[in-house]
Chains A and B, each alone.
Chain A
Amino acid sequence: MAELVTLTDHGLYCPQADLYIDPWKGVKRAIITHGHSDHARYGSTYYLCHHHSIPILKTRLGDIAVQGLDYGETIISNGVTISLHPAGHVVGSAQVRLEYKGEVWVISGDYKTQADGISQAFEPVTCHTFITESTFGLPFFHWQPQWVVMRQIQQWWERNRSDGISSILFAYSLGKAQRILANLDTSVGPIIVHGATHAMNEACRQAGINLPPTYRVSELPDASLSKGALVIAPSSAAGNSWLRRFEPYRTAVASGWMAMRGARRWQAADRGFILSDHADWHGLNQAIQATGAKRILVTHGYADLFSRWLIEQGLNASVLKTQFTGEQVNEPETEITET
């Protein structure tokens, strides 16, 4: 019997339902797990995603034909039952559950098991075959509770502010930027966002997510407000003349990769906050166990090592070579630049 999901040169494909999940080339029908650029690509005719992802996809991909689903809502396509389930990765992120004649596959996209207070928390979905990422699939990666990291960021900002210095925080525009906004005490001072961050914030606000007020540089009622402000920008803004207006400033990067001193020094930022929207080592292992799946397909990240580890744990695991990239030390270039 043919597999329910196969890998083609266009991406993950379900032949029975004739649809792709996060295809990397244009197809007729695409289910999108979430709005990051390695998962949501341009060129498909019809898109299906969680309804919170719709404004994000429209912001990134333009005026596309897209249908939204709720978590747990099902649709049926040529006998295949399709539903989306919270992945806890970013606003609107979803795992895709496919069921055909009693066989269940879950394509998890990117996920984290820690609740972040802004995207709906990850829910394990029982299945036979689970496709998992492995971005941080090494036993070196252990995230601290979110409040610990948020307190570090808060203290960093407040200390800089009392020194009369602005705080530039480099974070992914979709995901980490909103997570930080939603969890900081924003009464400390004004928050300024880069255009790329602003675009994603607006998309999330359209999706009905509550975010504290932020300014773009052009909207500042008074230029002196930027002194001691928190500035959230994608890492591509580092070294850019756009930053010069905030001088004097200190810089920080929020990324899971900041757990590695080498990566931290590479960034040449003053601080590294270890904050990721991906599962850490325990998170990956717990999530896999909770699905009850006997067969695990491991994609982007430390796929070779992580699948060998899973095999030693008695699971039928193998590597699936996709073109997803997961969290990178530097966010891929966004279209929006500011000068």
Chain B
Amino acid sequence: MKAFAALFEALDQTNKTQEKINILAEYLLHASDEDRLWTIALFTGRKPTRIANTTQLRNWAACAAGLPNWLVEATWHTVGDLGETLAGILPEPDVTTIPLNSLAATIQQIFQIHALNSEEAKAAAVITMWKQLSKTERFLFNKLIAGSLRIGVSQGLLIKAISQAFQLPENIIAHRLMGNWDPRTTTFQQLILHPQASDQLSKPYPFFLAYSLEDISQIQSNLSEWVAEHKWDGIRAQLIVRNNQLFVWTRGEELVTDRYPEFHPLLSQIPSGTVIDGEILAWRNNKPLPFQFLQKRMGRKTPSKKLIEEIPVVLMAYDLLEHQGLDIRNEPLIHRKKILEKLVYNCNVNTLKLSEIFFAHSWESLLQERERSAEKGSEGLMLKHCDSVYGTGRKKNGWWKWKVDPLTIDAVMIYAQSGHGRRAGLFTDYTFAVWDDQRKLVPIAKAYSGLSDDEILQLDRWIKQHTLEKFGPVRSVEPLQVFELAFEGIQTSTRHKSGIALRFPRIARWRTDKKAEDANTLADLKALISIV
């Protein structure tokens, strides 16, 4: 745990990517295989196990620190992070106890605590652990037993560090880290250094992502070398058929094969050794249903017959990554698309669709096609170079997304709440309202992203000076500030007081030029429902 805590501190003390890579590579090189495996597991979002809920942890820490529960809770609201708060309020560690040196040993301990059967025993064991750990170790321990460890190491950075430490190409590591491996059932050797073919059976490829095209001048080569296709608004997924088994993975690296029985008949239609990249869409009458329908399917591990009939899904195929058992990601796009087309054409199951491509003759014709996005139910277009490879991660190369301009509305800020993580201690989460027909402000959306750091600081000061009431971490503020909100969609909702729900609301601009009375009305918003 000491070395892992030192790693964490060192990573936390630099903002430079290359330094972080060096630090992590150095650590991995010297750590034991068990610690290497667990470090990679933690940095890819895997956790040991949850020992307690946040209320229990707060109460145990309050007890150990001799503080009232309300004060611990209020401190948590200020600091923003529970693991950090509890590490900070506990008394100094007992220096006479022997610290646990390895990360894997600490995790073993966590599994042992988890197996205890009474809450008292767990509390006592956790408090004993707290007493032995330094402040940083305690913080990490808290993160391991409740919550997730986000420490500014992206998947890409981790891959680079492993690559540097063990002299392996990055794309191979990216691939080996995919899928649902479990640090308790695999080893570092199996996962990274010497994977066996059977371990690879269900593994998806890293997804290739695109940046938004801000300006058409970003496309430098001749437009005729590009193709366009619609950017469908569903769940990005890979459908894998290998060794007569079918797997469906989402971009969030979740195995969802059982959730979508519609795809199971594809097993007999698609040859083994095939991986298709596409988008899962709720689909009816030759058109996608709005994303909210798909959401109803996403949560169900085993959907009922009724739900499947109500909300059927399809896979809109974009790309072919593996063909006849060979990785073809480095073949030119147009070649991959041709094979894909044949594959979909030969398939007799109608839940596999081909995402149609358009050759980009002119920006005018592309614009015209993009205008049809709302009608077709897509978010806009994807522009892809004919020769582009299927890369890993998000690159400014070969692929661009070209979304339709979002809808916007002016709304008044009425509540503010302090943020978490990087935004802790600042008021960064806001609730916005528009005018109803009685000229009362009715909340319509919460949003936090979209302001610059300077604007956030300025608004934070304003909020502190214009607070009307405090309810725990939330403050109501004088309804004076107007913001332009951008969003991707709007629909009626029975769950919201306003009767509407916005999709992906975010702050587009702080409209200091507008007064509260200039903000839009609920009627304006409702009028948008019929358009969209």
On A, residues with C-beta under 8 Å from B are 138-142, 257, 259-266, 268-271, 302, 304-305, 308-309, 312, 329-330
Contact partner of B78 among A138, A309, A312, A329, CB < 8 A?
A: A138
For the complex, give the distance between the alpha carbons of A309 and B424 in Å: 23
Q: Are A270 and B84 in contact (CB under 8 A)?
A: no
B406 within 8 Å of A by Cβ?
no
Within 8 Å of chain A (Cβ to Cβ): is B335?
A: no
Stretch of B13-21, B184-192, B392-400, B495-503 that contacts chain A? B13-21
Question: Are B79 and A262 in contact, CB atoms less than 8 angstroms apart?
Answer: yes
The residue from B12, B15, B71, B89 contacting A268, defined by CB atoms under 8 A apart: B15
Task: Give me the interface of B with A, judged by CB distance under 8 Å.
Answer: 12-16, 65, 67-68, 70-72, 74-75, 78-81, 84-85, 88-89, 152, 419-426, 453, 457, 470
Given known pairs A261-B81, A262-B80, A263-B424, the reply for A140 and B14 (CB within 8 Å) is no
Which A residues lie within 8 Å of B457 (CB)?
A: 330
Contact in complex: A312, B12 (CB < 8 Å): no
Q: Which residue of B lies closest to A269 (CB)?
A: B15
Q: List 14 A-B contacts (CB under 8 A).
A: A138-B74, A139-B72, A139-B89, A140-B85, A140-B89, A260-B80, A261-B81, A262-B80, A262-B81, A262-B419, A262-B425, A269-B15, A270-B14, A270-B16
The reply to whether B13 and A270 form a contact with Cβ atoms under 8 Å apart is: yes
Interface centre among B70, B71, B420 (most CB of A within 10 A): B71
Whose C-beta in chain A lies nearest to the C-beta of B464?
A325
> Would B15 and A260 count as touching, CB distance under 8 A?
no
In angstroms, Cα B458 to Cα A329, docked, is 12
- Complex contact A266–B423 (CB within 8 A): yes
Chain A residues whose CB sits within 8 angstroms of the CB of B72 once the complex forms: 139
Complex Cα gap A307–B419 (Å): 24
Query: Nearest Cβ distance between residue B532 and chain A, in whole angstroms?
Result: 36
B425 near A312 with CB under 8 A, answer: no
**Complex CA distance for A139 and B72, rounded to whole angstroms:** 8
A89 and B186 alpha carbons, distance in the complex (Å):
56
The CA of A329 and the CA of B65, in the complex, are separated in Å by 27
Cβ of A330: which chain B residues have Cβ within 8 Å of it?
457
In the complex, which residues of chain A have a beta carbon less than 8 angstroms from the beta carbon of B68? 309, 312
> Are A302 and B78 in contact, with the CB atoms below 8 A?
yes
Q: Is the interface of B mostly helix, strand, loop or mixed?
A: helix
Name A262's contact: one of B14, B15, B422 (CB within 8 Å): B422
Neighbouring A residues of B453 by C-beta, 8 Å: 266
Other A-B pairs beyond A140-B75, A260-B80, A261-B12, 15, CB < 8 Å: A138-B71, A138-B78, A139-B75, A140-B85, A140-B88, A142-B88, A261-B421, A262-B419, A262-B421, A262-B424, A263-B425, A265-B422, A304-B470, A305-B71, A308-B70
Query: Which residue in B13, B71, B419 is a CB contact (below 8 Å) of A271?
Result: B13
CB < 8 Å neighbour of B425 from A260, A271, A309: A260
Q: In the assembled complex, which residues on chain B have CB atoms less than 8 Å from the CB atom of A269?
A: 15
User: What residues on A are CB-neighbors of B65 within 8 Å?
Assistant: 139
**Complex alpha-carbon distance, A89 and B117, angstroms:** 51
Which residue on chain A has the smallest CB distance to residue B72? A139
- In the bound complex, CA of A270 to CA of B423 (Å): 17
Shortest Cβ-Cβ A-B pairs, 5 listed: A262-B424, A140-B88, A265-B422, A139-B89, A138-B75
Contact between A270 and B424, CB atoms less than 8 A apart: no
Q: What residues of chain A lie closer than 8 Å to B425, measured between beta carbons?
A: 257, 260, 262-263, 266, 329
Q: How far is the CB of A167 from chain B (nearest CB, A)?
A: 13
CB contacts (< 8 Å) of B13 on chain A: these are 270-271
B426 with A140: CB separation less than 8 A: no
A141 CA / B88 CA spacing, docked (Å) = 7
Alpha-carbon gap, A266 to B13, bound state (A): 13
Chain B residues near A262 (CB, 8 Å)? 79-81, 419-426
Task: State how many angstroms separate the Cβ of A239 from the closest Cβ of chain B.
Answer: 10
| Alpha-carbon distance between A265 and B15 when the two chains are bound, in angstroms | 9
CA distance A266 to B15 in the complex (A): 11
Task: Using A140-B89, A261-B84, A262-B423 as known contacts, say yes or no to A305 and B15 having CB atoms under 8 A apart.
Answer: no
Name the residue in A259, A263, A304 with the highest tally of chain B Cβ atoms < 10 Å from its Cβ: A263
- Residue in chain A with minimal CB distance to B65: A139
A263-B424, A270-B14, A271-B13 are contacts. A139–B79 as well, Cβ < 8 Å?
no
Chain B residues within an 8 Å CB radius of A141 = 88
A95 and B16 CA atoms in complex are apart in Å by 44
Closest chain A residue to B19 by CB distance? A270
